[in-house]
Amino acid sequence: MTNAERWPVVLRRERDASFVYAVLSTGVYCRPSCPSRRPKPENVRYFDSARQAEAAGFRACKRCLPAQKIEPRSALVQDLCRFLEANSDRRVSLAEMADFAGLSLFHLQRQFRAELGVTPRQYQETVRHRQSTEPGDVVTYGFFKSPLGQGLVAATSRGICAVSFGPDQSTLLEWLRAEIPFAQLQPGEVTGAAAEILRAIETGTSAVPLDIQGTAFQQKIWSALRGIPPGQTRTYGQLASEAGTPAAVRAAGTACGANRIAVLIPCHRALRKDGSLGGYRWGLDVKRELLRRERA
């Protein structure tokens, strides 16, 4: 496919495209299906793979996650979520969503609920509620050193709302801005919160208050995770059962992946049915180390 043929694919946001595109003005590369605003064509560069884009100095988009391998159904639902978030200022009809996804209304709702545990309408209401409250939220953030690498913690007046680990402070701050784009971020003192996170890394326990934002299903899964004793694990199927929806195994895994409060909401304690680690948004090495410490 020539570059001239690739640009219309980007404009149509095709989900099955086998390339990524990068934007010179932002230094970020995306999937063609990314719902972000389309750049000027003269600022776009195309690559056959995420590895090529990163070798050229571009960073992965925090919205469409082009460096991650995502199954087709998961990618579709992810695109639908980004579409709803980008249009949170209005009510998006199911017919419009079905047209965007290229699905019937029945299959749209069936695939969405299987992936996330909630209907498209429920997800849209959660997004609108979250975005209506976050603009007034002042989020204080800071960095700390940990056995898991460079750490970031962010908190509102209600409690810790984000914990992450990464290679450096700039990458972590970019992650935070992508996670809570409507909040007012300010650097501040986080010594006490960092101490609680370090204690949780060492002991598996913490009593610090959290400010948890998510769908009703996600919050059920996160609550089930917090009820797992240190040193123990649960399968995604067991978490789904504890949330009252035994069939929503895949949605339970997606909820774990959506958790933005590492360690304090212990999604590292969730495993596949066969006992393998499954996924972890902060890397399998971090998940493995957390489990090793708790089991010790």
In whole angstroms, what separates CA 257 from the centre of its chain?
6
User: Taking 80 as the threshold, does the pLDDT of residue 80 lie above it?
Assistant: yes
The SS3 call for residue 138 is: strand
Q: Could you report the per-residue pLDDT of 252-291, keeping only the tens digit for each? A: 998 999 899 999 999 999 999 999 998 898 989 999 999 9
> What is the structure's pLDDT at 12?
83
Please pick, among 30, 64, 81, 256, the residue that the annotation labels catalytic. 30
Q: Which part of the chain is CATH 1.10.10.60?
A: 72-133
Out of 25-29, 129-133, 221-225, least confident range: 129-133
According to CATH, the topology of domain 137-203 is Double Stranded RNA Binding Domain (3.30.160)
| Active-site position among 34, 64, 161, 267 | 267
Question: What is the reported pLDDT for 70?
Answer: 63
Q: Above 80 in pLDDT, residue 86?
A: no
Give 274's DSSP letter: T
| pLDDT at residue number 71 | 61
| Residue range(s) in the chain whose domain bears CATH number 1.10.10.10 | 216-295
What pLDDT, on the 0 to 100 scale, is given for residue 101?
80
> SS3 of 242, please?
helix
pLDDT for 18: 85
Within the chain, all domains assigned CATH 3.40.10.10 are found at 3-60
Tell me, letter by letter, the H, E, C secondary structure of 46-78.
EECCHHHHHHCCCEECCCCCCCCCCCHHHHHHH
pLDDT at 136: 61
Domain 3-60 coded CATH 3.40.10.10: yes
Q: Give the global pTM.
A: 0.67
Confidence check: pLDDT of 16 > 80: no
- SS3 assignment, position 213: coil
30 has catalytic annotation = yes
247 SS3 class: coil
Q: Is it true that domain 216-295 has CATH number 3.40.1190.20? A: no
Query: Which pLDDT belongs to residue 73?
Result: 65
Q: Tens digit of pLDDT for each residue in 45-74?
A: 999 999 999 999 999 887 777 887 666 667
Q: Any catalytic annotation for residue 267? A: yes
pLDDT tens-digit map of 104-154 = 888 888 888 888 888 888 888 888 777 665 756 899 999 999 999 999 999
Q: What is the pLDDT of residue 19?
A: 93
The whole-chain average pLDDT of the chain stands at 88
Partners of 185 in beta bridges: 139
Q: What is the pLDDT of residue 99?
A: 86
- Of the candidates 16, 31, 71, which has an alpha carbon nearest to the alpha carbon of residue 250? 71
DSSP structure class, residue 90: S
Note the CATH number of domain 72-133. Answer: 1.10.10.60
The sign of the CA dihedral 181, 185, 191, 192 is negative
- Hey, what are 210's tokens? 């959290």
Residues of the chain with CATH 3.30.160.70: 137-203
- Mean per-residue pLDDT, 5-25: 88
37 pLDDT tier (thresholds 50, 70, 90): confident
